[in-house]
Structure 1
Amino acid sequence: MSDCLRCGACCAHFRVDFSVYETASYCGSVPDGLVVEVAGATVRMRGTDHWPPRCAALTGTIGERVACAIYEWRPSPCREFEAGSDACARARARHGLPALAADG
């Protein structure tokens, strides 16, 4: 969705936790330098580990033009996030952006 290329609110609103097995050192794709350990087999995207969160892989200005520096290697929570969902609307509202219409 082209709106996502201007938005980026989700990348600067939520903590992004996922399995350590998605990291490069465990034969996954997420670069090791972009994660911090949470507990056990759980890691978090660097930058989403404090408040206000902003993923270290996010480039650009929220609401104007953004990109994910590791888009091809992003973790499962990012792959599964749905533009236009309730979570999307909450993230956009925090950044003063209007909600998107859900796909479909």
Structure 2
Amino acid sequence: MTACTSCGACCACFRVDFAVYELESEGGSVPDGLTVEVNGNTARMRGTDHVPIRCAALTGRLGVQVACGIYEWRPSPCREFEEGSEACHRARARNGLPPLEADLG
């Protein structure tokens, strides 16, 4: 199990905005029903548009076991997010999770 499948902090910390062309209705793969319109050019994952943040596609319990219900169809900000990055560490801290251990391997 990777840290990401036991964490989920990023899905409960950041607003997820992306270009509307990533929506299914616009030829992309992100399900429209899990998004809200921001403006004519931008969509946002539902649940990341208010506090407390929790993406509508996130299943499970933070810090225990989580999954993305649309992992194969997730928007670009989610695809680009890096485990162990500074943003990852901030998200973990905001959700009361300890920092990831450095891979000494």
Interval containing the TM-score (normalised by the shorter chain) = over 0.9
Does 2:79 match 1:79? yes
Task: Compare 32-41 and 74-83 and name the one that shifted more.
Answer: 32-41
Q: 1:11 deviation in Å?
A: 0.1
Name the % identity: 74
Q: Which residue of 2 aligns with 1:26?
A: 26
Structure-2 residue corresponding to 1:8: 8
Tell me by how many angstroms 1:99 deviates: 1.6
- What is the match of residue 40 of structure 1? 40
TM-score when normalising by structure 1? 0.95
- 1:89 counterpart residue number: 89
- The whole-number CA distance in structure 2 between the counterparts of 1:94 and 1:32 is 28
Secondary structure of the equivalent of 1:60? Answer: strand
Cα distance in 2 for partners of 1:58, 1:75 equals 13
RMSD of the alignment, in Å? Answer: 1.5
Structure 2: gaps of 5 or more residues: none
| Pairs aligned (count) | 104
| Residues 1:102 and 1:74: Cα distance change in structure 2 (over 3 Å) | farther
Take 1:50 and 1:66, find their aligned partners in 2: how far apart are those partners?
A: 20
Query: How far apart in 2 are the matches of 1:45 and 1:7?
Result: 19
Gaps of 5+ in 1: none
Contact 1:34 1:57 in 2 (8 A): yes
Write the letter of the residue equivalent to 2:67: A
Give the letter aligned to residue 4 of structure 1.
Answer: C
Query: How far does residue 40 in structure 1 lie from its aligned partner after superposition?
Result: 2.2
Deviation at 1:100, TM superposition (A): 1.8
The corresponding residue for 1:67 is: 67
